[in-house]
Structure 1
Amino acid sequence: MLSGRYPTWQNARLKTIASIVFCIVALVLVYEERAVLDPRKANVVSVLPSIPSFIWHVFLHKREIDPKLQTAIHSWAELNPEHEYHLVDTVGATDILFDLYKTRPDVVHTFQSLESTVMRADFLRYVLLARYGGVYTDVDTEAIIPINHWIPEAYKNFTRVVIGIEYDQLEEERHVTMPHSLSLCQWTIAATANHPLLWYAVEETMYQIHSLADSYQTDVEHLRPTDKEVIVTTGPGLWTASVIKHLRNKGYHNITYADFSGLKEPKLIDDILILPIDAFGTGQPHSGSNKEGSPDALARHLFSMSWRHGCTPGDSAPCWD
């Protein structure tokens, strides 16, 4: 405490100087804390301006989640404490769809008619992001970098959807399950609420589901899709095609899969930020991915493949749950 020997003006001056010093020290500490958190991301924004702070996990199987995945699941809430976390099971999906029924009964009817758990999970992620926005990620993914640090500063005011590369053929032989030379990741997606791309994906999914049922001369409830049919009807094949078609509808008429191939840096097209392979696909033995794990990884996919139940990729027999 200052002595009474100091005049009032001098006392106030010392308090002002002390306040300035305190602010400088606090700023230094904040900067150091961010550098310790991730020195590679010193140039990224600390918040996503348009993407809501929701994290969505979906698990619709009747069995329990594999205990080995608990650490990965918890990593999302632990690394993103400012986000609202949701693990959506069948009951939770029913509540969400009840709310949606008022405006989109066709979406609800299609979802409820599906017996294929994997197709339901694919469909629901698009619905959740279209309706509420946020980050959807599979239960077998692990958070590496906080979500608020995913978008580089240069793109922060323009990005409304964040997508990574899942598969990039490059000079390799085409993988047996891949319908195209490139596939965009749908095990992790970030989006603003009501983005037209996500609603387009919802519409395309409904169309493809009913078209597949028609091709088998059956109804949606009795669909028994093969591995390949899941991929192109509701999975990454559907998602990748939806992104391409959406961008063409926005005026990017000449865009092709090749425009996303071999990315080394993030690429913004319209308001969609496409990330290189290592962002969400690090550790894969293909597509130019860093096989040992990349310093540029934002999340890691553990590839539990629980939905396949031991089926070999590319099988022509029904492979569903």
Structure 2
Amino acid sequence: MLPHAYHRYFLWIAIAATFCLLASQLTSVHRRQPKQNPASAAETAESLVETTALRPPPASEIPIPRQIWQIFFAPPGIKTLDKGGTYASDWISMAPGYGYTLMGDEDATAFVDSSFASSRPDITATFHSLRNPAQKSDLLRYLLLWHRGGIYSDMDTRPLVPVEEWLPPAKRREVGLVVALEWDVARDGYWDENTRDVQFCQWTIAAAPGHPVLGGMVNHTIAALHDVARQQGKALDEADFSDLQVLNSTGPMAWSDVVFDEIRRRDPLVEELNDLMDLRSPKYAGDLVVLPVESFRAESSDEWGLNGWRKNRRALVRHYYKGAWKAQG
């Protein structure tokens, strides 16, 4: 065979080999591509929806602002707050993306005057007349949540789980008030004749601004405080309040009555406080949710996962009961 014939022969062999190799690779790629039928496409879409539902909703879609409020009114003889003895850093770390504000005496006065002096002078006058730091703190938390919204929690509380996990993301879009039981006779037994069988705590509350329960509580508090003073024939800044009168004017007993009235109005199946006894899961009434007693009243064993009676129910906040509110009038 002539040399140029050899060249043509091998050239055709090379072209044929290259074509076969390309065809083989294309076939392999085609086989690796799974066919997408309508069912798998629907499953993919459903999975995407589920993943999106787990993400925290944007601020524009939630009623309760991402804001933490705490209050410190210095007791007699104490001028500054020992921040090392508080849990402010825990609240900040457990609520990334949230604002955090600690309200002191001067900040509180400025907030109340700027927010209510012209629209509700009865509020500013009442606030400035209170001598008991506990009553003043009680009223201020209701005013902050009513006017600004967010999460209020006492200085002697510590979050155990991230704040964004308190409610499912979908519920965050619906809920405008989060409360929890502080006392449940089904769990705690009887303690005091003045304690309700079911009572709501007010050391931790989350609310949307303008929520009717907070507005109702502010009005109840103003009326109750002046009623005690009127019964004594004194001005409010001269009135003396017993522990029970504190509880029933600004404290958890008054708060429980106002919250329950709203739940009963919304839910015809709830006729009395005892209908909320032994609550084992969140109960929704419109945009209001009631959490079980362990939610904001965690115990030391909850921090280590050792509390057997919870039966996998989740404790969210621990209250250390360091506040001394009694006999401060």
Do both share a fold (TM > 0.5)?
yes
Among residues 123, 128, 153, which one is paired with 1:107 in the alignment? 123
Structure 1 equivalent of residue 144 of structure 2: 128
Percent identity over the alignment? 28
Q: Which has the larger radius of gyration?
A: 2
Residue 251 of structure 2 corresponds to residue 241 of structure 1? no
Residues in 2 aligned to 1:107 and 1:54: alpha-carbon distance in whole angstroms: 23
2:108 is the alignment partner of 1:88: no
1:46 to 56, 60, 80: 56
> TM-score scaled by structure 2?
0.74
Task: State the AA in 2 paired with 1:46.
Answer: P
The residue that corresponds to 2:10 in the other structure is: none
Note the aligned Cα RMSD (angstroms). 2.7
Q: 1:177 to 1:291 in 2, by over 3 A?
A: farther
Match of 1:209 in 2: 225
Distance in 1 between residues matched to 2:261 and 2:133, nearest whole Å: 26
| Range 228-237 or range 245-254, more displaced | 245-254
Answer yes or no: is 1:278 the counterpart of 2:287.
Answer: no
| Residue 161, structure 1, aligned to residue 169, structure 2 | no
Task: Judge conservation of contact 1:45–1:151 (CA < 8 Å) in 2.
Answer: no
TM-superposition CA deviations, 1:255-313 (whole Å, max 9, x none): 3212321111111012111101111012189xxx95999861111101103223xxxxx
> Matches of 2:240 and 2:307 in 1, distance apart?
36
d(CA) in 1 for partners of 2:175, 2:215? 17
Cα separation, 2, equivalents of 1:274 and 1:44: 22
Partner of 1:187: 203
Compute the displacement of 1:252 (Å): 4.3
Q: Alpha-carbon deviations, 1:194-226, whole Å to 9, x = none?
A: 111100000001111111112222221012222
1:118-159 Cα deviation digits (max 9, x unpaired): 100001100000000000000000012222221124533321
CA separation in 2, counterparts of 1:247 and 1:74?
Answer: 34
Q: Is the 8 A contact 2:266 2:285 kept in 1?
A: no
- Sort the Cα spacing of 1:103 and 1:302 in 2 relative to 1 into closer, same or farther, 3 A: same
Structure 1 runs not aligned, ≥5 long: 1-42, 309-318
Question: Residue 60 of structure 1 corresponds to which residue in structure 2?
Answer: 73
Does structure 2 retain, via aligned residues, the 8 Å contact 1:115–1:223?
A: no
More helix by share: 2
Secondary structure, aligned partner of 2:296: helix
Structure 1 residues 93 and 150: CA distance shift in structure 2, 3 A: same
- 1:163-188, Cα deviation, whole Å (9 max, x unpaired): 01101112755223743111101000
Structure 1 letter corresponding to 2:274: A
Cross-structure match for 1:118: 134
- What residue is the counterpart of 1:77 in the other structure? 92
Partner of 1:320: 328
Preserved contact between residue 126 and residue 198 of structure 1 (Cα < 8 Å): yes
Contact 1:282 1:300 in 2 (8 A): yes
User: 2-side partners of 1:246 and 1:278: how far apart?
Assistant: 22
Equivalent position of 1:32 in the other structure: none
By how many angstroms is 1:45 displaced? 5.4
Pick one of 197, 209, 215 that aligns with 2:213: 197
Q: Residue 320 of structure 2 aligns to which amino acid in structure 1?
A: L
For the 8 Å contact 1:134–1:191, the answer to whether it is kept is: yes
The answer (yes or no) to whether the contact 2:178–2:207 under 8 Å persists in 1 is yes
Contact 1:283 1:292 survives alignment (8 Å): no
Corresponding residue SS for 2:181? strand
Aligned partner letter, 1:176? D
Q: Is the 8 A contact 2:56 2:169 kept in 1?
A: no
Report the 3-state secondary structure (helix = DSSP H, G, I; strand = E; otherwise coil) of the residue aligned with 2:202: strand
Q: 1:173 to 1:320 in 2, by over 3 A?
A: same
Task: Return 5+ residue gaps in structure 2 as ranges.
Answer: 1-52
Matched, 1:265 2:277: no
Letter in 1 for 2:104: D
